[in-house]
Amino acid sequence: MQLEERVQQLVLEKIEGKDDLFIVQIKMHKNGVLSILVDGDEGIAIEECVQISRHVGFHLEEENAIETAYRLEVSSPGIDTPLLLHRQYVKNIGREVRVLTVEGEKKEGKLLEVDEQSIKIEEKVKEKGKKIVLQETSLLFDNIKETKVLISFK
């Protein structure tokens, strides 16, 4: 069994029964950092991250699953982490997002809708010599390279 698969099993054991929590990503980096990103439909508390870390760390040590020195990091995705899962898009409906398309085009707007194939955002578009207008734009997931939530400090 691959390390990431075993870690996924351990995390799922710990969050069992907490249907609002979900795994975003598990990755063993070349620098020896094992990073586990966990989120929740309503966010995730630090205490829950601590409990997951203790559970995973204990079992990995007991099983001697990692032969070299490593550092375990359990957290929620940071502000600069792109959305990776459909569930994260749904969680962020109503927020401002920046989407980078596979063609390299950047689009910003309020995330209005999410379905299985696409998202819909409300962009502010300014045409030459005219006022800014709101325009709804649909983007297929296949055409999205990266989406990040924008944080406003207004």
Average pLDDT over residues 73-101: 94
Flag whether pLDDT at 133 surpasses 90: no
Flag whether pLDDT at 154 surpasses 80: no
Q: Provide the residue ranges of all domains of the chain, joining segments of one domain with +.
A: 3-75, 86-149
pLDDT tier at 125, thresholds 50, 70, 90? confident
Task: Select the more confidently predicted residue: 10 or 134.
Answer: 10
What pLDDT shows up at residue 130? 81
Tell me the three state secondary structure of residue 31.
Answer: coil
Q: Are domains 3-75 and 86-149 of this chain identical in fold?
A: no
Domain at 3-75: CATH architecture: 2-Layer Sandwich (3.30)
Query: Beta-strand (E) ranges in the chain?
Result: 21-28, 33-40, 71-75, 96-101, 106-114, 118-126, 132-140, 144-149
Class of domain 86-149: mainly beta
pLDDT tier at 153, thresholds 50, 70, 90? confident
Average pLDDT over residues 100-113: 96
Whether this prediction's pTM lies above 0.85 is answered by no
Cα angle: 56, vertex 74, 45; to 5 degrees: 110
CA distance linking residue 120 with residue 112, whole number of Å: 5
Of 29, 28, 31, nearest to 5 by C-alpha is 28
What pLDDT shows up at residue 83? 96
Average pLDDT of the chain to the nearest whole number? 93
Tell me the three state secondary structure of residue 15.
Answer: helix
Task: Using alpha carbons, list the distances in angstroms from residue 116 to 57, 87, 88, 113, 121.
Answer: 35, 10, 13, 10, 15
